[in-house]
């Protein structure tokens, strides 16, 4: 957009859209113009963002998206309570990988889960705390619910290998067997 002619709110929206992954400055400008010209789309987007802000968070047990305190998976049987199966915890890089890994037989309903929502990336300011790894460590410190095995499902990249190494060291500190997998596509 020609910055001198474009009102500040439209420029601000384009900058905010540019912060989204996969959206560059040209696409952000195009999306901002579309929103400026489509009041009905503005309204739908505002309502969706408001609901997201008010109703969606992370499950305190597994960090999957939830609109309740615990996600539906933890409420059913996987992670909640002392009766939960505790043989293996599966650490997922992204929550949407669950369905693919389950369909491919790489994970099953008896596993416990923990979602990172990303990978360690010191360059981007993403460390163990941003991925909630203190919560995973807390789960390992409770002896009666400590899993025997940890399966980390991470992409094959520098960040994935770094995160895998961190998880392997964490698991070793609690005498938990470690295995790494990449999601089959």
Supply the pLDDT for residue 184: 59
Residue that wins the pLDDT comparison between 20 and 86: 20
CATH 3.40.1360.10 range(s) for the chain read 57-181
Supply the pLDDT for residue 86: 61
User: pLDDT band for position 102 (50/70/90)?
Assistant: confident
Encode pLDDT of 39-66 as tens digits: 999 999 999 999 988 888 898 888 988 8
Encode pLDDT of 162-171 as tens digits: 999 999 999 9
Q: How far apart are CA 176 and CA 140, in angstroms?
A: 9
Distances (CA, A) of 175 to 86, 107, 139, 140, 168: 14, 21, 14, 10, 10
Average pLDDT, the chain: 87
Supply the pLDDT for residue 99: 84
Distances (CA, A) of 109 to 7, 88, 149, 150, 160: 52, 11, 15, 15, 24
Q: Which of 2-6, 53-57, 78-82, 101-105 has the lowest mean pLDDT?
A: 78-82
Supply the pLDDT for residue 80: 47
For 57-181, the fitting CATH number among 3.40.1360.10, 3.40.50.720, 1.10.150.130, 3.40.50.80 is 3.40.1360.10
Is 8-55 assigned to CATH 2.60.120.1060? no
CATH 1.10.8.420 range(s) for the chain read 8-55
Question: What angle do the packed helices 39-55 and 25-37 form, to 10 degrees?
Answer: 110
End-to-end Cα separation, the chain, in angstroms: 38
Residue that wins the pLDDT comparison between 156 and 111: 156
Average pLDDT over residues 152-176: 95
- In angstroms and rounded to an integer, the radius of gyration of the C-alpha atoms of the chain is 20
């Amino acid at each position: 957009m020609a910055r001198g002619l474009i009102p500040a709110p439209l420029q601000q929206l384009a900058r905010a859209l540019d912060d989204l992954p996969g959206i560059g400055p040209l696409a952000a400008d195009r999306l901002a113009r579309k929103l400026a010209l489509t009041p009905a789309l503005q309204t739908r987007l505002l309502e969706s963002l408001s609901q997201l802000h008010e109703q969606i968070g992370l499950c305190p047990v597994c960090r999957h998206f939830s609109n309740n305190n615990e996600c539906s998976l933890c409420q059913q049987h996987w992670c909640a309570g002392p009766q939960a199966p505790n043989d293996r915890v599966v650490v997922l890089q992204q929550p949407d990988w669950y369905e693919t890994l389950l369909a491919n037989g790489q994970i099953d309903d008896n596993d416990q889960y923990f979602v990172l929502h990303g990978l360690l990336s010191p360059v981007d300011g993403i460390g163990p705390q941003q991925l909630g790894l203190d919560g995973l460590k807390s789960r390992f410190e409770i002896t009666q619910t400590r899993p025997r095995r940890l399966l980390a499902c991470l992409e094959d990249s520098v960040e994935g290998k770094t995160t895998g190494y961190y998880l392997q060291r964490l698991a070793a500190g609690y005498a938990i067997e470690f295995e790494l997998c990449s999601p089959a596509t």
